Structure 1
């Protein structure tokens, strides 16, 4: 799990019980008494496709004594004493009987060796096909003697708040574990990056669940369990999963190319309101103001300037900087887009050829 976790505390000081008041009439439930689902059949169906992942990586852990720095002994110390094997664990799931497995990027990290354990105890060495840091996704490949049980992708866009879900994985190293809950929110932004769009669930997610699947009632993967809010590091009833609609395209690119290529403009942007965007009526003129243009970037070559307010991309309204970043990132490098903007109070349009996002670009 990510090292950075935030705790959430809810105060109850504002609640007051009024003695002697007539109790409100109970709200009539729209379902019967026996509607709590039995997950036994679902768990039996999907668990064979859920795997445990063990990683071995090398990490410098011992500091070099100051008196040895800059001397011939420094190299000896680094090679002989400064490195050790560190083991970690996570979860994943098979998406293809040929042995392709999805997990989180932070599970495999810079692992020197990855081992996948199936539900029957079989252990297989895994190869990292590709990783994507921005969405925290990774694709592995194992060579098995027989076809593996795989699970299908589902459509996260159709998921509703309150819908039952099942999480599966390897919490605290306890493989083959399932927990149930509901979707408690959608579209959560938790500060993980420009592609924050998490499904929030109260199904218990703990360390070791990272990379594991979140299933709908049909046994389809609608999310990849990625992060939690917790004051203790254990489940506090608030977990987050990367939606399948985002993950699926990333995984397909990793499988095809071994990497993810994203569009890039080379600008720093911020949200602006109605008046600045020239929208007139409140709520109709929001846009994205260009704060800075990198020299030699696609935006600079197209003539974009600081102060320009982007209002649409290929005719589709753009009201937030996050939406602009996602739209550009989803555009294949080399493709030209039509950008509508307001410059010094006047509407303009520019044709911008999207570039390839450099490693580490903002």
Structure 2
């Protein structure tokens, strides 16, 4: 009781002895259930403890997700021009078989083998990976963590985002994983990356999200999560999971002077991957919107229209060079890449409303989106 007669809240007793087993159990519960009790306790400086500990072990998460992560081997037939100069074995030189040997070697077709990763998103055998892993393959083979190996076929791929969908036929329902919401991922969050580094077989690595919104010059829709979990060649196409075991990124690229991991890897956020995967598995290709304008970031905010293609959707809508676009369908746009992605996400033939500043005056422009082809810039 205090002086006014009210009951004070009971505080934990510092220095109380807790059995070791009980302490470990309480700590595990606090970490895995997200308990804020430990975080709310002030430190000697008077502020809250913002970080208590990482997970005691990733093993429960690994057991849950690894059965749905696959290794992918591809075969591509190519003409080998290097066979123009053929080294003839000594035993055949000067014999009737020398000419036959040279012709056979010049026409020989060799196989290029590659390896990558992927993950099952549907128990029927739908698998997500990178386009650069399977896009030019003649044969695709998928290996699972239990040793099962199955042939796969390509359902669809998209070069601009480096996303591909393949399918295997199994005699039972396959383990699969689900999409997480990459929009909720924060810099500093734990992630678990899985895949097939250097073709060695299934493995996992852990780290944190280092940055968001990275543009590495891979394509017009760059919006990568930067990850510091070790990602190496062969991890391409594999997933990165949040601590709930949901896929928040498709591992795609690394920056490295050595060719191996130096802690700078990049994954495509699930918010971008999931809708593209859905189109690829159902239609086999992506239909993207196009305005027919050249863009650049405006100094004072918004996106400036540098030029307008004659006869393009933007010209028909009345857009002009010098216009500053600040909003599309009521949502703010701050960068030219953001505007390109917004337009590309619109179905060809649909209408979008742009809020434009023209010579100091606000103008609303209604544009009917055209169909983007690879050579269209925006």
TM-score bucket (shorter structure)? 0.7 to 0.9
Query: What is aligned with 1:250?
Result: 276
TM-score by length of 2: 0.78
Tell me: CA distance 1:80–1:64, structure 2 relative to 1, closer, same or farther (3 Å): closer
Q: 2:213 aligns with which of 187, 198, 205?
A: 187
Post-superposition offset of 1:248: 0.5
1 CA distance for matches of 2:80 and 2:266?
Answer: 31
Post-superposition offset of 1:84: 2.3
Check the 8 A contact 1:62/1:83 in 2, yes or no: no
Q: 1:126 aligns with which of 140, 152, 155?
A: 152
Equivalent runs, 1:315-326 vs 2, <5 Å: 315-326=330-341
SS of 1:206's equivalent?
coil
Query: Quick check: 1:41 aligned with 2:67?
Result: no
Q: Which has the higher helix share?
A: 2
Check the 8 A contact 2:135/2:164 in 1, yes or no: no
CA RMSD of aligned residues (A): 2.5
Check the 8 A contact 1:89/1:107 in 2, yes or no: yes
Query: What is aligned with 1:282?
Result: none
2 CA distance for matches of 1:121 and 1:226?
Answer: 25
TM-score by length of 1: 0.82
Tell me: CA distance 1:202–1:80, structure 2 relative to 1, closer, same or farther (3 Å): same
- Report which of the two structures shows the higher radius of gyration computed on alpha carbons: 2
Check the 8 A contact 2:83/2:106 in 1, yes or no: no
Provide Cα deviations, 1:101-136, integer angstroms capped at 9, x if missing partner: 000111112111111111111111101000111211
Flag structure 2 segments of 5+ consecutive residues without an equivalent: 1-43, 85-101
1 CA distance for matches of 2:77 and 2:313?
Answer: 39
1 CA distance for matches of 2:274 and 2:239?
Answer: 13
Check the 8 A contact 1:341/1:348 in 2, yes or no: yes
Post-superposition offset of 1:177: 0.5
Check the 8 A contact 1:230/1:236 in 2, yes or no: yes
Query: What is aligned with 1:297?
Result: 312
Tell me: CA distance 1:51–1:295, structure 2 relative to 1, closer, same or farther (3 Å): same
2 CA distance for matches of 1:31 and 1:316?
Answer: 33
Flag structure 1 segments of 5+ consecutive residues without an equivalent: 1-24, 66-75, 275-285
2 CA distance for matches of 1:78 and 1:354?
Answer: 54
2 CA distance for matches of 1:146 and 1:317?
Answer: 47
